[in-house]
Amino acid sequence: MNRRRCVSALAAVLLSVGFGTVAAGQALAAGTDWWVDAASPACSNAGPGTVDTPFCTIGAGATKATTAGDTVHVRPGSYAEQVTVAGSGTSGVPITFRAEGAGVVVVGTKDLTGNVWTAGANGAWSTSYTSPNSAPAQAFYDGARLVKATSADGVANNQWFYDATAKVIYVNVGGASPADTGHTITAGAQTYGFNVNGRSNVVITGFDTLGQNLAGVHVGTGSTAVTVSSVTSDLASSNGVLLDGSSSAITVSGSTVTRSGSVGIRLANVTGSTISA
């Protein structure tokens, strides 16, 4: 009888440990909710990324979202950055980037209007442009694309040129200094809006991307099971959505591309993938 009681007690302990293991596994699968809100006075990239003290940039959330089930919630606002996904989810438990409402815009340009501009030949003006993450592939005047000139000496009206060696950008908007026109001059600064390389089980949903040097969303380098849904891309220099690099099982759904410089949605060396709606 005593032996039977001991066996029963041991079984109860093992069962309890088993339930504890399952509960811990479920908690892990649930992941962590990270919050981003650039408009919040309390935002801090050094903070906890909570609802009350969110991150200021999506990239800060991306560096934390590395465990299956993690979700980066992004509140409406403009985010001038490239978001590089840093982790992978698991089957059925993805890492998710979710726009919480309309108007979450990942901006690929930098505003140069307030720079110091120097007058040049033929009505062109120039300013130092040393800090873009990638050399500009396009420039805009009040949101409209300017035509790229072939050299710094031949920048005609409504044209622009970037000297990558001197790191100087030239713009001609009709003779007046860009700083004095009351208009806005922006130039490409980010290669991608979202960049997913070598990751799996990732969801990107609800974002707007604007003016990237190459593509609004890029999925490549062997990525698998990545979902891009309800995303818009406007004025990307090449592609709104670019899938390449032997990636597979990629889903793009309910997304809209406008005014891209080349193909709206491009698949190159991609297998088993779906584009819908």
pTM flag (> 0.85): yes
CA angle 82, 259, 60 (to 5 degrees): 10
User: Residue 7 is which amino acid?
Assistant: V
Please give the tally of structural domains in the chain.
2
**Among all chains, which residue has been given the structure tokens 């908690």?**
27
Q: Are residues 101 and 207 in the same domain?
A: yes
User: Residue 98 is which amino acid?
Assistant: R
Which residues span the domain enclosing 65?
29-108+191-276
Q: Are residues 255 and 270 in the same domain?
A: yes
Name, in order, each residue with C-beta under 8 angstroms of 179's C-beta and a sequence gap of 6 or more: 113, 114, 115, 116, 117
Of 157, 188, 219, which residue sits at a domain end?
188
Q: In a 3-state reduction of DSSP, which class is residue 215?
A: strand
Name, in order, each residue with C-beta under 8 angstroms of 59's C-beta and a sequence gap of 6 or more: 81, 82, 83, 84
CA angle 195, 37, 95 (to 5 degrees): 40
Is 134 inside any structural domain?
yes
pLDDT tens-digit profile, the chain (277 residues): 444 444 444 444 333 444 344 344 444 457 999 999 999 999 999 999 999 999 999 999 999 999 999 999 999 999 999 999 999 999 999 999 999 999 999 999 999 999 999 999 889 999 999 877 789 999 999 999 999 999 999 999 999 999 999 999 999 998 788 888 788 999 999 999 999 999 999 999 999 999 999 999 999 999 999 999 999 999 999 999 999 999 999 999 999 999 999 999 999 999 999 999 9
Q: Are residues 34 and 90 in the same domain?
A: yes
Q: Are residues 72 and 204 in the same domain?
A: yes
Residue 202's alpha-carbon distances to 189, 196, 242, in angstroms, are: 25, 9, 16
Of 135, 162, 188, which residue sits at a domain end?
188
Q: What is the pLDDT of residue 20?
A: 42
Q: Are residues 92 and 195 in the same domain?
A: yes
Is 22 inside any structural domain?
no
Q: Are residues 68 and 142 in the same domain?
A: no
Q: Are residues 73 and 196 in the same domain?
A: yes
Q: Are residues 149 and 85 in the same domain?
A: no
Q: Are residues 198 and 78 in the same domain?
A: yes
Q: What is the pLDDT of residue 224?
A: 98
Q: Are residues 247 and 216 in the same domain?
A: yes
Of 147, 162, 188, which residue sits at a domain end?
188
